Each structure stands twice: as C-alpha cells, then as structure tokens.
Amino acid sequence: MNIVLFGPPGAGKGTQAKRLTTVLGIPQISTGDLMRAERASGSELGKEFDHYMSQGLLVPDELSLRLLEQRLAKPDASKGAIFDGFPRTVPQAEALDRLLQANGRKIDVVVSMEVPLDEMIERIVHRRSCESCGQIYHLRYNPPPSPDACGACGGKLVQRKDDTEEVVRKRNDEYLAKTAPILGYYTQQGIVKAISGIGSLDEIEARIKAAIGK
C-alpha cells in the first residue's frame, strides 16, 4: 500500500507516519528527514539543501526527486511506503506516479490532514525532536519526560532550525503557492480523503486508519 500523508507544515504528518509504520509494516519516507541527515553529514549537497531549508523555501524539484528515487529503490519500500512531506509540487506528484507505475504500483490513498494556520504555528514553535531516534514531542501536548532528553532513547532533544515563527510563515506561503495545488491533481484521481488534524494523537491516528480502510 502506498499512502501520501498530505497537509501544511505542523499538520502532524511525521508523528502519524511514524505510528503508521508499526501498524502497516511499511516504511515512512520523509524527504525532510533525508535532507536533514544529508545536511548533518556536512556534504556539499547538504549545504545546498540548507540554503533553501533555512529560509523556509522548497528545495528544487530535481534535487528532491533524486533523493526520493534513491530512497524508493531500497528493498524495504518494495511493498509500499508512507510518504511524508513528499510530493510538495505537482511535478513531484507526477514524477512519483511515473516512478511507482514503472513497478506496477500506484498511490492508493492521499490523506489530507487539515489544520488552521494559528494552530500550526503553535504546534511548530513548541515542537522538539530527538537527535538520535527522530521521536517528535510537543512541549505542552505531548511533553517529553524531561525537556532535554528523549523518553524513548535518552537522546538529546533539539528544536529544528526552521521551526521559528518567521520561517514557518514562509513555509506556509510555499505550501499554499506550490504544494496545496497537488490536492487538485489527486482529487482528479479520486483518491483524496480529508480528515481533521485537530485532536489527540490517538484520535487522529484512528481517523487516518478509517480513511485508509485499516
């Protein structure tokens, strides 16, 4: 099964994708996570990603697609994947369809997680994630046992560089201009299920499962 978790920054895509990997036994593919890993390696490519990410801008399609293609070719993605933060433009969505079709696969369902802008900003500026295992927390709604350490692995909790209010507003502008039109593309295919992204993590997980028929 191939699922796209769709929504603005801070909709909860990453948190729910991690939960779904356990339920469905397929990996989460987050181009944002892949880009952050490349950036942390200090490579030239990582520096190029950082140039865009730190300003809240989308990384050019050609670079994002190359990364996605390499990840999709790994054996663990052969039975399906949960796409989180990809596609981000209509050309990326078209390219993903082509890549999947080449292997007789397709996107089965796009779950659109709807969250208003003020809620998004509130979530993002209080978001912390574990440097080691990627676990995501919200300082108020899903607090870690201690403000600096991950409850799952004890790793260091950090705030993403692009999780400031100013950058989030830019990320939202990019979302509205370039990413939101993807919904029209998938709606034409009849595969979009919209859910509210407001509620407890368990409630939202239950809505996603209902939307994907699990």
- How far CA 152 is from CA of 74, 75, 145, in Å, comes to 26, 27, 10
Quick check: 206 and 14 in contact, CB under 8 A?
A: no
Residue closer to ligand AMP by CB (options 24, 120) is: 120
Q: Is 35 in the site for ligand AMP (CB under 6 A)?
A: yes
Quick check: 59 and 49 in contact, CB under 8 A?
A: yes
Q: Is 15 in the site for ligand AMP (CB under 6 A)?
A: no
Residue closer to ligand AMP by CB (options 150, 174) is: 174
Binding mask 170-199 for ligand AMP (x = CB under 6 A): -x----------------------------
d(CA 72, CA 116): 31
Q: Is 88 a catalytic residue?
A: yes
Shortest distance, position 25 Cβ to ligand AMP, whole Å: 23
**Catalytic site residue from 39, 105, 123, 127:** 127
Q: Is 171 a catalytic residue?
A: yes
Quick check: 87 and 4 in contact, CB under 8 A?
A: yes
User: Strand pairing partners for 142?
Assistant: 138
Residues 58-87 interacting with ligand AMP (rule: CB under 6 A): 58-59, 64, 85-86
The piece of 27-35, 38-46, 96-104, 131-139 that touches ligand AMP (CB under 6 A) is: 27-35
> How many residues touch ligand AMP (CB under 6 A)?
18
Q: Which residue has tokens 């994947």?
A: 81
Q: Is 31 in the site for ligand AMP (CB under 6 A)?
A: yes
Task: Using CB under 6 A, pick the residue from 27, 52, 149, 185 that binds ligand AMP.
Answer: 52
The token pair at 208 is 């996603």
Residues forming the site for ligand AMP (CB under 6 A): 9, 30-32, 35, 52-53, 56-59, 64, 85-86, 88, 92, 162, 171
